[in-house]
A and B are shown apart, each in its own frame.
Chain A
Amino acid sequence: MIAAQNLSKRVETAAGPLDILTNIGLEIREREAVAIVGVSGSGKSTLLGLLAGLDLPSAGEVFLSRHRLNDLDEDGRARVRGELVGFVFQSFQLLPGLTALENVMLPLELKGARAPGDQATELLTQVGLQGRLQHYPKQLSGGEQQRVAIARAFATEPAILFADEPTGNLDNVTGERVIDLLFRLNQDKGTTLVLVTHDEHLAVRCDRLIRLEAGRVVADVEETRAS
C-alpha cells in the first residue's frame, strides 16, 4: 500500500544543512495499523508528511498505492490525496466558521458526493455526536472536536488514514476513547492506519511499531494487538 525507499529529508537552516530523516525504508501493507513512535524531534511528523505526499523528500522515493509521488507535481499529489488519504491531526484543524456537520460535509462536497448532509450526519452519529451537529468547534470540548475530525477523516472512506498525535491535546481517558473510535472505524472500513504518537500505550495497540531516533528507523516490530 505504502512504500518508502531510501527516504531522506535534509533542510537548510541558518546553522547549515540539517538531516531530519536519513535513509528510511519501509513498506506498509493494506489494512495494517502502524504506529510511528519516537521522542520529540525525532522526525515523526516529517516522515508522515512525506508518506502522505504533503512534502517531497530530498532523496528516495515514496509510493502510495500504485502512484510514484516523485513523478507528480503538487496538484497531482493533491489528487492522489483526495483519492486515497484521510488525515487526523493533533490540533484538530476544524474550520471555526463551520458547524460540526458542515466540517464533516466539506470533504464530501469537495468530491461532489450525493447527499453529503446525510452521510455526514450518519458519520457523526457513529462517533456519538448526533446531538451536536449544529455546534461550532468552539462550542465543543477537545475530545468532541477530535471526534468530529475523525468523522471527517473517514467521510470519504479513504484507503489510508494518517494521524499525527491524535490524542496529544487530550487527557488519558478521552484519548483512550478517541483511539477506540479510530481503531473501530479502521476495522469497520478496512482502512490502512499510520499513526504518529509518543504514547507507547497507544502504540502497542497497533499491528506494527516503527521507532525513529534522530531521523533513522531503529526498530520495526510486528506485534499482536493488545486490545
Chain B
Amino acid sequence: MIRWQLAMRLLVRNRRSGEQRILVAALVIAVAASTAIGFFTDRLGRGMANQSADFLGADLTLVSPRPVDAAWIREARAAGLQAIETLAFASVVVGGEELLLSGVKAVQDGFPLRGSMRTAPAPFAPGAETRELPRPGEAWVAQQLLTALDLQVGDPVEVGAHRLTITRVITFEPGRVGNPFGTAPRLLMRMADVPATGVVQPGSRLTYQYLFAGREGEVTKFRDWLEPRLGPSHELVGVKEGRRAVGSALERAERFLGLSVLAAIVLAGVAVAMAARRYSERHFDMSAMLRCMGASQQDLLGLYLPQLLVLGLAASAAGCLLGWVAQYGLLYLLADLLPATPSTPQAWPVLAGVATGLVTLAGFALPPVMRLKDVPPLRVLRRELLPLPSRAWLVYGAALSAIVAVMWTYTDSWPLTLSVLSGGILLVAVLSLVALLLLLLSQRLNTRVGVAWRFGLNNLWRRRRGSVNQILAFGLTLMAMAVVALVRTDLLTTWQRQLPADVPNHFAINILPDQVESFQAFMENAGVATAQLYPMVRGRLVEINGIAVRKAVTKEARSDNSLNRELNLTWTTELQEDNRILEGRWWQPDDTGKPWVSVESRLAGRMGIGMGDELRFAIGEQRFTAEVASIRNVKWDSFRPNFYMVFPPQVIERFPATYITSFYLQKAEKPLLRELVARYPAVTVLEMDRVIEQVGRIFRQVTLAVEYVLVFTLLAGFAVLFAALQASQDDRLYEGALVRALGGSRRQLRAGHLAEFTALGGLAGLLSAMGAECLVWVLYSEVLHLDHRFQWPLWIIAPVAGALLIGAAGYWGTRAVVERSPMLLLRNQ
C-alpha cells in the first residue's frame, strides 16, 4: 500500500526538478490572473449590490426633468412610504478667482432615506458617517471642488447669485443617479437656498429626484401603481436598475479583463501540458521500477495524483495570494471609476481561483500523468518500451473542456463562449499558418547569415512545432498589448489631431430667450466668436407612423439612448455648414410653418426612419406630428451645437425654449466664464476641454488596467517558453556536448542559442505587428471611425521588444547546456 506520506516525500524531493517548477509557475500565473480579476469584480459587484440602496439613498428613485404631480408624493406617503424631493443641476461654482462646473444637489430634511452621507471636517481628513445636512446658507463640497478652486473649509462659494459657506467635505454621498454631470465635483446645499441662486428658470436643465423608502412589499406596490402613470421623460430607478446603471460603465472593462485572463489561463494551460508531459516521461523509469517492486496501477495513481493535487493546491494558494495583492493594482488603476466605498474582499474568489487552478491542472496535466500507470514493468529490461500514447481526443478533449469551463464562468453565456472559442481557434489556426510561413522564410535566409544565426535558425526549424507554438504564444500576447497601447495613445491624439485648432471647447446652454441679444453682445465685447445661437426645445420621439416607438424599432435599438432620454429639438433656416443633406431637401423660405422635420442620418438608420415617415413628438404634455422631409449627415465631433431633429421655423416655436451656443476659449481667457456666470446665473457652461480631459483619463485608466492584466498573459507566455526549453533540454544537452566534443567553443554555442531565441522573439514580434495592424485597422474603420494610418513604429518596436525579451529569457533558460561539462553528460548515459 502506497502512502500519502511517500507521495509527499517524492513531491518534496522533486521540488528542484524543472518541469515541476514550471508546472507550478504556470498554475500560479493562471490562478493569480483569475483571482485578481475575481477579487476585483467581486468587490465591485458586491459593493454595488450591497450598497445599491445605500448608493441610491432610497429604495426607489423617480427622476424627472420637471416637478412631478404632488398627488404622487401624497400617494406614496399614504402608502406608508417615506418620500422626499431633491434637485440636481449643473452650475458653475465660483470660489475666489476660480470657477468650476459642478454638480449641485439641493436636499431637504430626511436625505438620504437609505445609507448615509460621510463627511470630513477638513480636506483629506477621514470621513465619518453623519445624519445631519448642511444648514441654510451652508454648502458641503467634494474634495475635488476644494482642490480645483483652491478653497478651504470656511471659505465662501457662489452658486449662481447666492453665496454659501463651505462647512464640510463630502467623502461619500448616496443618490448620484440620473445626473448627467455625475462625474463633476459635487456641492450639496439646502433646497431652501435654491431660489436665491437664480439658477432655476423656465427651461433650465434640472433633474428632480424623488426618493422613496419603505418596506419591500409597499415599495413594490407603490411602484406598480406609479409605473403606468409615468410620462416619457420620467425615469424610475430601483435597486436593480441602480446597479445596472453604475455597473454598465465597468462592464466593458470587465469583459476585456476577462478576455486577457482567459488568454493567460490558456497559455498557462499549454505550459502546464508541456511540463506535465515531460514530468510524465521523466517518471516512466520510476513507474516501471515501482511496478517491479510490486506497486499496482492503482498504487501508482495513488502516488502521482496526490502529488498533482498538492501541487495544484499549493500553486493555487500562492496564486490566490498573488492575485489578492494584484487586485490592489487594479483597484488603484481604476479608482476613479469605482464606488467610493469598495467592499471588503470575500472568500469566494479564492475558491474560484483554486477551482481555476485545479481545472487547468486536470484539463492539461491529467492525461499525460495518467499515462504513468500504463508503463510496462518490462521497461526495466527493455528501455525502449513506452506506455501507449494518450489518446488525442482525450488530451484535446480534456484541455478543451477545461478552457470551456473557465470561459463559461467568465462569459456566463453559451453563445458567447462558443463564439469566442471558435473565433479563438480560427485566429490560432490562421496565425499558426503565418508563423509557420515566417519560420520558413527565415529558414530560407539561412544561407546568407553567419554561423551562429544558421545554428539558431536551424534549431527553430528542426523543432518547428514547438517554435510555432511559442511564436504564437508570444505573438498573440504582444499583439494584444500592442493593440491596447495603440488604441490608448492613438485614439486621443488622432481624435485631437482631427479637430481644427479653434474648434469650440465650451458650450453655453440654458440661455433664456430674452437674454439672447445681450448674451451675444457680451461675447462680442469680450472678443469671443460664438457659433449661432440655436433654440432648443426638449421633447421625446414617441411614435413612428402611428406605432409606439418602443414597438416600432428593432430590439437592439430599443436600448438606444436617444429613445430613453429627451431629445433636443431645434428650428433654423440655415443648414449648418458641416451638415450635408443625404435625402430630401433643406428648408426653402416658404417651408416656414410646415410640419416637417429633418432627421440625423445615423439615428434614422438605427431606428429605421425613412423619408416621408410620420414622427410624433411629445413636448411636456403636448403632442404633435411632423413628416420627415430630409435626412442629414452630421459631423458630431465638430463641437458645434448639433441636433438630431431640426424643424423649419414656426413649427415648435410655441414651446418654451432655451438657447445654446458654443465658443472657443483659450486657457488664459477662462476668467471670462466667471463674469459670464455672474451676469447670467441660469446659463450653464459646459467646459468640454475638461470633459475631454476626463474622458481621456478614464480611457487611459481602463486600458492601463487591461495592460496590467496582460502582463500575466505575458508571464504565461514565458511559462510556455520555459516549458518548451525543458522539453528540448535533453536534446540540447546532447547537442551541446556534441558541438563541444567536435571542437565548438562555449562562446559559439551560446551565440547560437542567443541567435535562436532572438530570432524566435523577432518573429513573434513581427507576427504581433501584423496582427495588431490588421486589428487596429478594423477597429478604427469599423468601430471608432477614425482615419487609420500605417503604424510604422509598431513594426520596429514589436519585433525589437520581442527579440530582446525572448532572446534574453531563452539565453538565460539554456545556460545549463554549457554550464554542465560534456564529461557529466557522458557519465549520466
Interface of A toward B, CB cutoff 8 Å: 45, 48-49, 52, 54-55, 74-75, 78-83, 85, 87, 89, 91, 93, 95-98, 102, 106-107, 109-112, 138, 142, 156, 164
Number of contacting residues on B, CB 8 A?
Answer: 35
Instruction: Report whether B292 and A49 are in contact in the complex, using a CB–CB cutoff of 8 Å.
Output: no
Besides A78-B299, A81-B377, A164-B381, 17 other A-B contacts (C-beta < 8 A): A45-B382, A49-B378, A49-B381, A54-B376, A55-B376, A55-B378, A82-B295, A83-B294, A87-B380, A89-B380, A91-B829, A93-B288, A93-B289, A98-B13, A102-B9, A107-B293, A138-B828
The yes or no answer to B388 lying at the interface (CB within 8 A) is no
- CB under 8 Å from chain A, chain B span 357-411: 376-378, 380-383
Residue in B closest to A141 when the chains form the complex, CB atoms = B827
Instruction: Report whether B293 and A106 are in contact in the complex, using a CB–CB cutoff of 8 Å.
Output: yes
Instruction: Report whether A112 and B378 are in contact in the complex, using a CB–CB cutoff of 8 Å.
Output: no
Instruction: Report whether B377 and A78 are in contact in the complex, using a CB–CB cutoff of 8 Å.
Output: yes
Knowing A54-B378, A109-B3, the reply to whether A95 touches B294 (Cβ < 8 A) is no
- Chain B residues within 8 Å of A138, by CB: 824, 827-828
* Closest CB in chain B relative to A115 CB, distance in Å: 13
Contact of A91 among B2, B16, B383 (CB under 8 A): B383
The yes or no answer to B82 lying at the interface (CB within 8 A) is no
- Chain B residues within 8 Å of A93, by CB: 285, 288-289, 380
A63–B286 Cα distance when bound, in Å, is 26
Instruction: Report whether A75 and B297 are in contact in the complex, using a CB–CB cutoff of 8 Å.
Output: yes
Instruction: Report whether A82 and B378 are in contact in the complex, using a CB–CB cutoff of 8 Å.
Output: no
* Closest CB in chain B relative to A88 CB, distance in Å: 10
Residue in B closest to A75 when the chains form the complex, CB atoms = B296
A112–B295 Cα distance when bound, in Å, is 12
A49–B288 Cα distance when bound, in Å, is 13
- Chain B residues within 8 Å of A74, by CB: 297, 377
The yes or no answer to B809 lying at the interface (CB within 8 A) is no
Residue in A closest to B286 when the chains form the complex, CB atoms = A95
A18–B545 Cα distance when bound, in Å, is 90
The yes or no answer to B1 lying at the interface (CB within 8 A) is yes
- Chain B residues within 8 Å of A95, by CB: 285-286, 289
Residue in B closest to A45 when the chains form the complex, CB atoms = B381
Instruction: Report whether B286 and A78 are in contact in the complex, using a CB–CB cutoff of 8 Å.
Output: no
Instruction: Report whether B289 and A110 are in contact in the complex, using a CB–CB cutoff of 8 Å.
Output: no
* Closest CB in chain A relative to B18 CB, distance in Å: 11
A85–B293 Cα distance when bound, in Å, is 7
Instruction: Report whether B289 and A81 are in contact in the complex, using a CB–CB cutoff of 8 Å.
Output: no
Residue in A closest to B827 when the chains form the complex, CB atoms = A138
- Chain A residues within 8 Å of B294, by CB: 78-83, 85, 110-111
Residue in B closest to A48 when the chains form the complex, CB atoms = B381
A102–B10 Cα distance when bound, in Å, is 9
A48–B380 Cα distance when bound, in Å, is 11
Residue in B closest to A44 when the chains form the complex, CB atoms = B381
- Chain B residues within 8 Å of A109, by CB: 3, 5-6, 9
- 24 residue pairs of the A-B complex, CB under 8 angstroms, read A49-B378, A54-B376, A54-B381, A55-B376, A74-B297, A78-B295, A79-B296, A80-B294, A81-B294, A83-B294, A89-B380, A93-B289, A93-B380, A95-B289, A96-B828, A98-B13, A102-B13, A106-B289, A110-B2, A111-B294, A112-B1, A138-B828, A142-B827, A164-B381
- Chain A residues within 8 Å of B438, by CB: none
Contact of A110 among B17, B295, B298, B380 (CB under 8 A): B295
Contact of B296 among A45, A78, A97, A156 (CB under 8 A): A78
B1-39 toward A: CB 8 Å interface, digit per residue (1/0)? 111011001000110110000000000000000000000
Instruction: Report whether B290 and A110 are in contact in the complex, using a CB–CB cutoff of 8 Å.
Output: yes
Residue in B closest to A116 when the chains form the complex, CB atoms = B6
A138–B1 Cα distance when bound, in Å, is 30
Residue in B closest to A95 when the chains form the complex, CB atoms = B286
- Chain A residues within 8 Å of B2, by CB: 110
Knowing A89-B381, A112-B1, the reply to whether A82 touches B293 (Cβ < 8 A) is yes
